[in-house]
Amino acid sequence: MIKVKRIDHVAIAVADRDEAAGRLRGIFQLAESAREHVAGQQTDVAFLDCDVRGAGATAIELIAPAGNASLQRFVDKRGPALHHICFEVEDLDGALADLKAAGVPLIDDVARPGARGHRVAFLHPAATGGVLFELCAPPAAHADDTIKADAKAVLPS
């Protein structure tokens, strides 16, 4: 149905992003590749790369509530815990359309801005047996999609 390119990241919900990042960097000697506040999702995030070579690194994403009531309830109930798994996919918009057409329950019918300039969308956990999955397209991927779409628009049929 959809083409998964790789696991982009595994997200862990935490109460304190900075404390958790420091602890995991120390234990696993992971490099922090990004740290930001994602205003649209009211979260503070940090990404710790798991591939020291840096090429196509799978990351650990630490997500902390910064006004996100749902994430705050999650952390209050479970403490630090696995939150979601994110797949980088080819053609995020096409994947969402295919999933929707197949009746797969989605949290996001259309992609939205996420951390690191990625476009993201979440599948409803009911679709996957209770696990929250995110799909993403990195900035270069959706820039390439725009270029391809623009090229198709100017080519004669």
Give pLDDT, residue 51. Answer: 73
Please tell me the distance from the alpha carbon of residue 108 to that of residue 135, in angstroms, as a whole number. 10
Report the SS3 class of residue 3: coil
The CATH number for 4-154, chosen from 3.40.50.970, 3.40.309.10, 3.30.360.10, 3.10.180.10, is 3.10.180.10
Query: In the chain, which ranges are E strands?
Result: 4-13, 31-38, 43-49, 59-65, 81-89, 112-113, 119-123, 133-137
Alpha-carbon span 54 to 155, nearest angstrom: 37
What is the per-residue pLDDT across 29-70, written as a single tens digit (0 to 9) for each?
A: 999 989 999 999 999 999 999 875 655 679 999 999 999 999
Q: What is the pTM of this model?
A: 0.85
4 pLDDT more than 70: yes
Parse the chain into domains and list their residue ranges: 4-154
Angle at 79 between CA 77 and CA 81, to 5 degrees: 110
